[in-house]
Amino acid sequence: MNSDVGHDQRFFCAALAEAEQGLAEGGVPIGAALVVDGRVVATGRNRRVQQGDPIAHGEMDCLRQAGRRRDYRRATLYTTLSPCMMCAGTIAQFGIPRVVVGENTSFGGNEAFLRSRGVEVLVLDDARCQELMRRFQEEHPDVWAEDIAE
């Protein structure tokens, strides 16, 4: 794994672009990118609103886009928001060894769970992600509450 901050920022931009696209579509602005061996193999975004699918979180959409894979040992999953338990469970189940999170102030996620399973978790505290989520939460509080099961 390359934990070089420059590489992380470059790959993270793919996840952020998905989050921005999701917001433009009227959805929850959470994006993800799966990188294997220094190459983006898939991106995805939260499509719960767009598809009426309660489990279409950004990470899940990204993994669906990646298709079947023999293993994830050399993968890093970039996500704009700290993963919920469903997504964290999938990360652990698939054995994804590294997750780079844009921000965890809007939603605390399940970083401790991931770390307890040996997953390296890096939080960027990205101001762009925080602003996207702040704006979305202000404009769509009911959808946000539904998304985090409140």
Which residue range is the domain that position 42 belongs to? 3-148
20 is catalytic: no
Q: Which of these is catalytic: 20, 25, 59, 138?
A: 59
Angle value at C-alpha 39, between 98 and 109, nearest 5 degrees? 30
Mean pLDDT of the chain: 93
Based on the structure, what is the number of domains in the chain? Answer: 1
For 134, other C-beta atoms within 10 Å of its C-beta total 12
* pLDDT score recorded for residue 144: 84
Q: Has this prediction a pTM greater than 0.75?
A: yes
| Residue 4: per-residue pLDDT | 64
CATH classification of the domain holding 28: 3.40.140.10
Using alpha carbons, select from 71, 63, 69 the residue that is nearest to residue 90: 63
Higher pLDDT, 76 or 146: 76
What confidence tens digit (pLDDT) does each residue in 87-127 have? Answer: 999 999 999 999 999 999 988 889 999 999 999 999 999 99
